[in-house]
Amino acid sequence: MSRGTGMTLLGLGFLVTTCAPEQETSELIQPSEWWRVHPRPVYAELEKVGTFQDWFDVYRVGDGTYAIYEPNQFEEAISYLVLGDERGVLIDAGTGIGNIKRVVEELTDLPVSSLLTHEHYDHIGGAYRFEQIIAFNDSAALARLARGRDNASLQGYVTDDYLWKPLPEGFDAATWSIPPIEPTQLLHDGAIVDLGGRQLEVIYAPGHSPGSMCLLDRASRLLWTGDHFYPGPLYAHADDVDIDDYIASNERLVGMLAEFDYVLSGHNDPWVASEVIPRVSRAFEAILEGSAEYAEDGDIRRYHFEGFDVLIRVDQLQR
């Protein structure tokens, strides 16, 4: 799922841009000049560790915690290396365009597993490079992982309008695919991922996709949200979204607000104050009661709120 800019789009009307052969993407979903948001201000406030392979920028966002950012493609995917005393996990594995395992190996000598918050391509692309792959035990999500992604299905994500800068050296778009993934470990709600001196608690958060989960580090007061939340247009319009589940999952996180101070999201910005989570609940309330402002293009609406937007289909509002 692409994410792009968090800019207000209420004045854009009904512009449409071509994003892939035989596929049209609304300007509400993918602004034609999405790259104008760069550089995002938050990154000036973080410690930059380096740029890797001319594709990844790496930032330290806490002790033993690194954001591995892909700013050059529309998704602006962020994966996170989280280290304990004995092992680490890579929370999500990016698009697969760059070799994210090589980045991990430059940052730590500890054994690292790939831990997937959900099954969308821009979070699983590099998972196959890891011997140990961890995912939530959801049958629909596991089936999707098992299918992988063939080259034809990925071509739309490396077109000119999806890229801000050149693809990394050695990457061949003509052969790019994501192999089928069979996790070596399955998680359930409330499970603890023990890294040795550091624990991550699994919070099942379906809605954005069937198998979505968040991860809570109570000691560090950090919450990784995958695509449940990120500062940009939240994708509530896709076919695998369940609005009721999305709202219920967010309400659960609201109830846990005392346990975390910052949200580390799967796109755009890696460091967002936790107070945004209750605002997401209020946003969906405003959308469903018809009091929120929006721009509309065909059957897609984009609702604007402070710090994020919500994309939703008109038919989803007929409740």
Per-residue pLDDT reduced to its tens digit, 199-229: 999 999 999 999 999 999 999 999 999 999 9
CA of 170: how far to CAs of 129, 155, 164, 187, 220, in Å? 16, 17, 18, 35, 38
Asked if the model's pLDDT at residue 125 lies above 90, the reply is: yes
Q: What is the pLDDT of residue 6?
A: 46
The amino acid occupying position 81 is L
The count of C-alpha atoms lying within 13 angstroms of the C-alpha of 38, restricted to the half-sphere facing its C-beta, is: 15
- Please check whether residue 39 lies inside any domain of the structure: yes
Answer whether residue 3 is part of any domain: no
Nearest residue to 5 via CA among 71, 98, 102: 71
Judge whether 115 lies within some domain. yes
Q: What is the pLDDT of residue 25?
A: 81
Residue 309 lies in a domain: yes
Task: CATH number of the domain at 290, please.
Answer: 3.60.15.10
- Average pLDDT on 244-253 reads 98
Structure tokens at 311: 């994309």
**Would residue 7 count as lying in a domain?**
no
| 138 occurs within a structural domain | yes
At residue 18, the pLDDT reads 26
pLDDT 10s digits, 283-297: 999 999 999 999 999
**Cα separation of 17 and 296, whole Å?**
15
In a domain, 99, yes or no: yes
Q: Inform me whether the pLDDT recorded for 16 exceeds 80.
A: no
pLDDT score of 23: 45
Would you state the pLDDT for residue 281?
98
Residue 4, pLDDT score: 55
**10, pLDDT greater than 60:** no
User: Residue 192 falls within a domain, yes or no?
Assistant: yes
**Residue 20's pLDDT band (cuts 50, 70, 90):** very low
3-state DSSP of 171-213: CCCCCCCECCCCCCEEECCCCEEECCCCEEEEEECCCCCCCCE
Q: Is the distance from CB of 199 to CB of 193 less than 8 angstroms?
A: yes
pLDDT(238) > 80: yes
- Of 91 and 22, which is predicted with more confidence? 91
Task: Give the pLDDT of residue 2.
Answer: 42
When divided into structural domains, the chain yields a total of 1
Q: What is the mean pLDDT of the chain?
A: 93
Backbone angles phi, psi at 141, to 5 degrees: -65, -45
Q: Which residues span the domain enclosing 165?
A: 16-317
